[in-house]
Amino acid sequence: MHKLDFFTQKRLSFGLFVVVLIVLTYATIIFTEYNVAKGFTAIPKAVRWATANFYPDAASLKKLPTILLKLRDTILMSVASATVASFCAFFVAILGSQTTRINVWFSVLARGIATIFRNIDVSAWALILLFSFGQSSFTGYFALFFVTFGFMVRVLIETIDEVSTDSVEALRATGAGYFTIIAQSVIPSCLPQLVSWVLFMIETNIRSATLVGILTGTGIGYSFDIYYKSLNYHAASLVILVIVLSVFAIEAISNRIRRAVL
Amino acid sequence: MQSTTKIILRPWNAATLILRTTIISLIVITGYAFTTFNTRGVDFWAGVDMLGSNFQALLLSPQLKNITFVTMVHNLFITIGLGFLTTIFGAAIALGFALLAAQNLAPRWLTVIIKGLTAFIRAVPTVLWVLIFAVSAGLGSVAAVLGMTFHSAGYLIKAYAESFEEIDHGTIEALKASGANWWQIVFQAVLPSSATALLSWTFLRFEINFSTAIAMGAAAGAGGIGYDMFMASGYYLNLHEMGAFTYAVLAFAIVLEAGATRYKASLSK
Which residue of A72, A80, A134 is in closest CB contact with B42? A134
Q: What are phi and psi of B93, to 5 degrees?
A: -65, -45
Q: In angstroms, rounded to a whole number, what is the distance separating the alpha carbons of residues A107 and A248?
A: 38
Nearest to B142 among A24, A39, A192 (CB): A39
**What domains, with CATH codes, occur in chain B?**
68-268 (1.10.3720.10)
Q: Is the pLDDT of residue A1 over 60?
A: no
Contact B126, A247 (CB under 8 A): no
Q: How far is B254 from chain A (nearest CA, A)?
A: 7
How far is it, in rounded angstroms, from Cα B199 to Cα B96?
Answer: 15
Q: Shortest CB distance from B85 goes to which of A34, A128, A130? A: A34
> Which A-chain residues 201-240 have CB contacts (< 8 A) with chain B?
207-208, 210-211, 214-215, 218, 221, 224, 228, 233, 240
Name the residue ranges covered by the structural domains of chain A.
1-41, 58-261
User: Are residues A131 and B81, on separate chains, in Cβ contact within 8 Å?
Assistant: no
Question: Chain A closest CA to B219's CA: distance in Å?
Answer: 6
Architecture of domain A58-261: Orthogonal Bundle (1.10)
Average pLDDT on A194-219 reads 91
Model ipTM? 0.86
Distance of CA A172 to the CA centre of its chain: 36
Q: Residue A218's closest chain B neighbor by CA?
A: B38
Structure confidence by residue, pLDDT tens digits, B127-155: 999 998 888 888 888 899 999 999 999 99
Whole-angstrom Cα distance, residue A142 to residue A85? 9
Q: According to the model, what pLDDT value does residue A238 have? A: 93
The 8-class DSSP code of residue A175 comes to T
* CB of A164 less than 8 A from some CB of B: no
Residue in chain B lying closest to A29 (CA):
B85
Q: How confident is the model over B74-86, as pLDDT tens digits?
A: 999 999 999 999 9
B156-188 pLDDT, tens per residue?
999 999 999 988 888 888 888 998 888 888 888
What single DSSP character describes residue B190?
I
For residue A226, list chain B residues with Cβ-Cβ distance below 8 A: none
Closest-CA distance of chain B to residue A192, Å = 7
- pTM exceeding 0.90: no
CA-based nearest residue to A212, from B57, B211, B153, B203:
B211
Gap between the Cα atoms of A77 and B145, Å rounded:
29
Secondary structure of residue A55 in the 3-state scheme = coil
* Pick from A25-34, A69-78, B3-12, B89-98: least confident: B3-12
B39 Ramachandran zone, left/alpha/beta (phi>0; psi -120 to 50):
alpha
- Could A46 and B19 be called an inter-chain contact, meaning their C-beta atoms sit closer than 8 Å? no
CA distance A89 to A156: 8
